[in-house]
């Protein structure tokens, strides 16, 4: 066995990746004794380089998360930007390959299910570099979602599949992935949430927005299936405009959604008395605070389904399926559609203010378990 530290290349590319790499980076620094003088022997150290693919690039979609999550700025930004799926994936691959050649890592660590996750996995696998996938095994069983392709490709190539929940491990076994590659480690998003709760509650987000605890609906929508077709987006706009006449609605608008609203020339009827507050995308801390205190969350984001479950805030997910079934079976999440939105919202607003339970291993210690698993691997 060599005396050298194990070298990791950690990949992040899009907004939901940053809160997944942050706890890992902090756990690696604790393990390596960066904040004490007690360093493990060289062959037990895990060094890392953080690579940002640049899939997301706006200050509000990227930089703000590095500051709020207290993670170092990336060692390298590949600056790929937007494009079609093929163009974006290919550009990431072209720019990541020389990085792997130069760095020769022992592991490439990828998180989640975005195009950056799949692209970097493909590059590493072809170069014979081991891949660890954090948040492996999630399946919506809906191949129309681009993320489902990313999940299937990534998991079929990865060497270490770090799952957030038992259903995810079970999905992998069913696909024939050997048990030896699968480790149930828990939900790393919740590590970030637990760490940043106090900081989030110090921000005074509700006061700044003039909201009352449990007195508003927090909305985020950006999935292509909801916003890329005019009909669907138009109906969403109508429903939200109607809802906002009765309940304050806070809606930070994702760039994809903003672009589609402009392209389809759609606007909210945001007249007098309307409680609709449309705004730029929010940072991590404000979003946590809004989720925690909302009367109800309406979303199509994976992360918000999980954060709502942790806070036990009733959540309606505007999708026909979810790759995170524990948020429904154990947590506070319910699926809805545009045609059922009005009665489902009504029920949620009349129902209990807190719902469901916290799933197992959503305990803030997932990153520690991942570090131990990498040391053993
Ligand atoms: C991506 C992920 C999705 C994730 C979402 C979170 C894939 C296939 N999709 O979707 O799983 O839920 O991120 O946000 O990887 N744009 C900007 N500024 C930015 C980033 C994007 O203006 O910083 C605009 C661009 O016009 C771009 C559009 O948003 O065309 C969509 O960005 P893209 O990265 O292609 O996909 P997302 O919809 O953000």
CA 351 to centroid of ligand 1, rounded, Å: 34
CA 256 to centroid of ligand 1, rounded, Å: 6
248 found inside a domain: yes
62 found inside a domain: yes
Q: Is the CB of 16 under 6 A from ligand 1?
A: yes
User: Which of 109-123, 133-147, 262-276 is predicted with the least confidence, judged by mean pLDDT?
Assistant: 262-276
- If asked whether residues 284 and 335 sit together in one domain, one would say yes
- If asked whether residues 345 and 216 sit together in one domain, one would say yes
- If asked whether residues 238 and 325 sit together in one domain, one would say yes
135 found inside a domain: yes
Residue % of the chain over a pLDDT of 90: 93
pLDDT, average across residues 45-53 = 97
> Residue 141 maps to which CATH number?
3.40.50.2000
Task: Give the model's pLDDT for residue 137.
Answer: 98
- If asked whether residues 201 and 180 sit together in one domain, one would say no
The mean pLDDT value of the chain amounts to 95
pLDDT, average across residues 23-51 = 89
Q: Is the CB of 82 under 6 A from ligand 1?
A: yes
Task: Give the model's pLDDT for residue 150.
Answer: 98
pTM beyond 0.75, yes or no: yes
The protein residue whose alpha carbon is closest to atom 20 in ligand 1 is 56
- If asked whether residues 131 and 204 sit together in one domain, one would say no
Residue of 77, 92, 153, 255 best suited for mutating to test ligand 1, as the one with most atoms within 8 Å of CB? 255
- If asked whether residues 163 and 232 sit together in one domain, one would say no
288 found inside a domain: yes
Distance between CA atoms of residues 121 and 115, nearest Å: 10
139, 151 contact by CB (below 8 A) = yes
- If asked whether residues 214 and 260 sit together in one domain, one would say yes
Active site residue 222: yes
Q: How many structural domains does the chain have?
A: 2
Catalytic residue among 31, 52, 133, 222: 222
- If asked whether residues 203 and 309 sit together in one domain, one would say yes
Strand order in the sheet with 76-77: 76-77, 46-52, 6-12, 107-111, 130-134, 160-163, 182-184
Give the domain range for residue 280. 197-350
CA 225 to centroid of ligand 1, rounded, Å: 13
């Amino acid at each position: 066995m060599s005396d050298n530290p194990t070298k990791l290349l950690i990949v992040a590319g899009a907004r939901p990746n940053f809160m997944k790499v942050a706890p890992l980076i902090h756990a690696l620094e604790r393990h390596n004794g960066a904040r004490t003088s007690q360093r493990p022997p060289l062959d037990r150290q895990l060094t890392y380089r953080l690579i940002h693919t640049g899939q997301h690039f706006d200050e509000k979609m990227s930089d703000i998360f590095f500051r709020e999550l207290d993670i170092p700025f990336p060692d390298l930004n590949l600056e790929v930007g937007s494009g079609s799926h093929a163009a974006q994936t290919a550009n990431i691959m072209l720019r990541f390959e020389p990085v792997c050649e130069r760095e020769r890592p022992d592991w490439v660590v990828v998180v989640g299910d975005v195009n950056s996750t799949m692209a970097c996995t493909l590059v590493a696998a072809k170069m014979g570099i081991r891949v660890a996938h954090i948040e492996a095994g999630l399946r919506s069983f809906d191949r129309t979602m681009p993320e489902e392709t990313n999940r299937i490709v990534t998991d079929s190539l990865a060497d270490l599949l770090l799952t957030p929940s038992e259903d995810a491990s079970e999905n992998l076994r069913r696909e024939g992935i050997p048990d030896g590659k699968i480790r149930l480690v828990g939900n790393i998003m919740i590590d970030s949430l637990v760490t940043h709760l106090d900081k989030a509650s110090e921000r005074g987000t509700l006061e700044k927005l003039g909201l009352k605890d449990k007195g508003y609906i927090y909305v985020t929508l950006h999935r292509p299936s909801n916003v890329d077709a005019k009909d669907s987006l138009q109906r969403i706009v109508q429903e939200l405009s109607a809802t906002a006449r009765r309940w304050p609605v806070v809606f930070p608008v994702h760039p994809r959604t903003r672009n589609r609203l402009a392209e389809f020339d759609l606007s909210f009827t945001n007249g007098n008395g309307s409680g609709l507050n449309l705004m730029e995308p929010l940072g991590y801390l404000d979003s946590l605070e809004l989720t925690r205190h909302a009367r109800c969350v309406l979303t199509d984001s994976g992360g918000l389904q999980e954060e709502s479950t942790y806070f036990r805030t009733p959540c309606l997910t505007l999708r026909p399926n979810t790759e995170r079934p524990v948020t429904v079976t154990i947590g506070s999440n319910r699926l809805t559609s545009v045609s059922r939105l009005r009665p489902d919202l009504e029920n949620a607003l009349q129902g209990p203010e807190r719902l469901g339970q916290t799933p197992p291993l959503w305990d803030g210690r997932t990153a520690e378990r991942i570090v131990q698993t990498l040391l053993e691997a």
